[in-house]
């Protein structure tokens, strides 16, 4: 912890727990204070033996936050004060779990909260060794991952609930769902923790698309129009083999003058935003 800040990391959601409706999870919470050059709080676990995550592409977390930025620290060995740090921003707690993906490339070498880039050529050569992770930590700080003042920092109580921390691979969806925008069913799919794609069709019709019409992909549950069943099937087949489609929800409809071969569909999926 920093200065006079206080924090705990505890399991909540058991019998008799007041978990704030979060259910079983780990709750990192406390009070941030800036006195005595403070302004951060941390919870850390040593990994003994070191964890080998070679072959994975990063870490994924399921979180409920409070609108602040939080950071994850990973270490290799016992080099004093040198960590690899990645940052993520949380939404004010809206009662939903949000997925955060942190690719290995997002973990930058830092010392005492500041990038090592100013400490000589050696710093530029440092990279995270994912075959030997010796500790993992979560923290909330007045400094961003780049060492500047965090725009979301504020003194006082903080809380970050973490339901899962997993290593992930960039893989195509395991679950493909053709949805009618049923909120409960979609939430259940997102809660499985496996790669998914939720595709919402506008009004489905029989037959083939008229000439010079193709599918358009949109997000925000605002699309209106129609789509042939054959085009819906084509989108689902394309999503099944496309890693860029994973962890996303989108709507599809007909649109004039839009190409739609497999490469163009994959490009459109890459442009979509992952679910929060």
pLDDT tens string for the chain (276 positions)? 557 899 999 999 855 455 566 778 999 999 999 998 889 999 999 999 999 999 999 999 999 999 999 999 999 987 667 899 999 999 998 888 888 889 998 998 888 777 876 545 455 557 899 999 999 999 999 998 878 899 999 999 999 999 999 998 888 888 888 887 777 788 888 877 778 999 998 888 887 666 556 788 888 887 788 888 888 888 999 999 888 898 899 998 887 654 556 777 888 888 888 887
Cα angle at 33 between 145 and 142, to 5 degrees? 15
| Residue 138 pLDDT | 96
Q: What is the extent of the structural domain holding 202?
A: 175-270
Note the pTM of the prediction, 2 decimals: 0.70
| Residue 17 pLDDT | 55
Same structural domain for residues 151 and 195? no
Cα angle at 104 between 102 and 105, to 5 degrees? 100
Closest to 172 measured CA to CA, from 234, 232, 245: 245
**DSSP strand E in the chain: where?**
6-12, 25-32, 40-51, 58-64, 69-75, 82-89, 98-103, 108-111, 114-115, 133-141, 156-168, 175-179, 196-201, 203-205, 213-218, 226-228, 248-256
Residue 184 belongs to some domain of the structure: yes
Residue 89 belongs to some domain of the structure: yes
Same structural domain for residues 194 and 164? no
Place of tokens 């290593």: 167
Closest to 243 measured CA to CA, from 200, 202, 272: 272
Same structural domain for residues 142 and 193? no
| Residue 274 pLDDT | 85
Please tell me the distance from the alpha carbon of residue 65 to that of residue 25, in angstroms, as a whole number.
12
Please tell me the distance from the alpha carbon of residue 230 to that of residue 256, in angstroms, as a whole number.
17
Same structural domain for residues 30 and 158? yes
The tokens describing 4, both together, are: 């006079």
Residue 132's φ and ψ, nearest 5 degrees, are -150, 70
CATH number of the domain residue 239 falls in: 3.40.50.720
| Residue 271 pLDDT | 85
Same structural domain for residues 94 and 191? no
Please tell me the distance from the alpha carbon of residue 65 to that of residue 96, in angstroms, as a whole number.
10
């Amino acid at each position: 912890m920093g200065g006079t800040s206080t924090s705990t990391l505890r399991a909540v959601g058991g019998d008799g727990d007041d978990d704030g409706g979060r259910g079983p999870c780990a709750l990192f919470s406390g009070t941030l204070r800036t006195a005595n050059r403070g302004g951060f709080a941390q919870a850390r676990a040593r990994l003994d033996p070191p964890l080998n995550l070679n072959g994975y592409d990063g870490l994924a977390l399921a979180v409920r936050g409070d609108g602040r930025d939080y950071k994850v620290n990973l270490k290799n060995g016992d080099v004093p004060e040198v960590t690899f740090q990645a940052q993520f921003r949380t939404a004010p707690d809206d009662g939903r779990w949000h997925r955060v993906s942190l690719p290995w490339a997002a973990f930058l070498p830092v010392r005492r909260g500041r990038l090592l880039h100013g400490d000589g050529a050696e710093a530029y050569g440092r990279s995270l060794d994912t075959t030997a992770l010796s500790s993992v930590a979560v923290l909330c700080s007045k400094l961003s991952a780049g060492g500047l003042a965090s725009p979301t920092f504020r003194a006082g109580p903080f809380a970050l609930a973490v339901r899962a921390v997993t290593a992930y691979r960039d893989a195509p969806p395991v679950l493909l769902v053709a949805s009618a925008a049923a909120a409960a069913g979609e939430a259940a799919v997102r809660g499985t923790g496996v790669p998914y794609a939720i595709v919402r069709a506008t009004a489905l019709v029989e037959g083939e698309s008229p000439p010079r019409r193709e599918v358009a992909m949109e997000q925000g549950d605002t699309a209106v129009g129609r789509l042939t069943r054959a085009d819906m099937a084509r989108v689902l087949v394309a999503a099944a083999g496309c890693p860029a489609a994973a962890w996303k929800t989108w709507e599809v409809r007909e649109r004039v003058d839009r190409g739609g071969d497999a490469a163009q569909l994959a490009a459109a999926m890459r442009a979509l935003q992952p679910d929060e």
